Structure 1
Amino acid sequence: MPLKHGLTELLYPGESARETNFQNLSWHHLNPPRLIIYVHFVCDMDQPHVREGLTAMHGMLQQLRAAGPMPSLPKRPAGVSYPLAGSCAFCERDETASGDEEVQLDRCSGCRMTRYCGTECQRKDWPRHKVTCAMVHSVEYENWD
């Protein structure tokens, strides 16, 4: 599932996010079971400072006894370029993630998560998005200033 966000810079100032890394915490013994998914938007997982940051974050989760061993971080396939994480979910053009006040992405009225640069992109993306949209129960944004 492609994930997007509305911020242009993340953990490392000046670097735009194009890749994601997930860290999961689960409590299957609870009723109902709980799952927290930490989604880290990063510029380039092949960069040493990014790998060090993700490893440090995983170490903090391990100290809480909430995470298993650190999984290996895959290298990006040669020649692959990912879209900016803050871009339109359909067209994925870099200029839609500029953070410029003139470029406003609209959220899907159903899930309130997926963002589009216009109604045409939203309509074209609906066959793909409708499955995910129907599964979203609630969305909470943390540290989203």
Structure 2
Amino acid sequence: MTTVEIQIIVYGSCSRDPENDDRYGADQRRVEILLNPILPADATTMPKKHKWLQEYLRNLPPDMKHNRNWRCEFCKVHARETVWMNSSWMHLTPPRALSYVHHVCNAAVGPCAENVRAIDAEMARMNNLPPTFSIPARDLDITFPMSASCAVCHDESEKSRKHLKQCAKCELTRYCSVDCQREDWSRHKICCKSLKEVKWHWT
């Protein structure tokens, strides 16, 4: 039985953060998440290991997005999108992966999207790799659910957002009701059951 170490660091801001660059650095608002899923026994080759990792990560966006009253990392407008930057070392023992998740208001156009591209380019330069982030292929008029809303029904009303509660087991994903939590369990349990640690930097 092989356990995979997956570290996910989620960045964003809140309305109380400074307007200048003082909100960045070692104390930047974030949550650090450690997951320890079990690698399937049939994932015996490197391509199979990477395929499993991609499928596992593909299940996690609602958990990493809908867990706090996140605002855009750069402009402090309510965040509506998350941008993932992933690295993995599946050849190591134990296999490892690292993801940086950035809460933004708009990942396709505007200065905040440019900031995301700049971060991706700098990470690529540091790792001697080509940049990986590209503009999402989508209708630019689409409005994504607010990060501060319920992970299932996405009710953005102030009344709903004020009464969201985190999953009691993982203390991460937020829901407006027991019904929404039950509806999401078949998906959320993949994250919830493999979550080892949640460390908030939110003061």
Letter in 2 for 1:117: C
Unaligned runs of 5+ in 1: none
Partners of 1:70 and 1:97 lie apart in 2 by: 39
- Given the two structures, how large is their TM-score scaled by the length of structure 2? 0.58
Residues 68 and 104 of structure 1, relative CA distance in 2, 3 Å threshold: farther
Show the 5 A alignment for 1:26-45: 26-45=88-107
Partners of 1:78 and 1:106 lie apart in 2 by: 31
Runs of at least 4 residues of structure 1 off by over 4 A?
Answer: 96-99
**What's the counterpart of residue 69 of structure 2?**
7
**What's the counterpart of residue 110 of structure 1?**
169
Q: Cα deviations across residues 65-111 of structure 1 (Å, max 9, x unaligned)?
A: 17543332213335532110121112211125987xxx142111222
Residues 48 and 54 of structure 1, relative CA distance in 2, 3 Å threshold: same
- Given the two structures, how large is their TM-score scaled by the length of structure 1? 0.78
Residues 88 and 64 of structure 1, relative CA distance in 2, 3 Å threshold: same
**What's the counterpart of residue 43 of structure 2?**
none
Unaligned runs of 5+ in 2: 1-58
Alignment RMSD: 2.7
Residues 10 and 51 of structure 1, relative CA distance in 2, 3 Å threshold: closer
Number of matched residues?
141
Could you tell me how far 1:4 is from its partner in structure 2?
1.6
**What's the counterpart of residue 202 of structure 2?**
144
Could you tell me how far 1:41 is from its partner in structure 2?
1.2
Identity of aligned residues (%): 34
**What's the counterpart of residue 120 of structure 2?**
58
Letter in 2 for 1:26: S
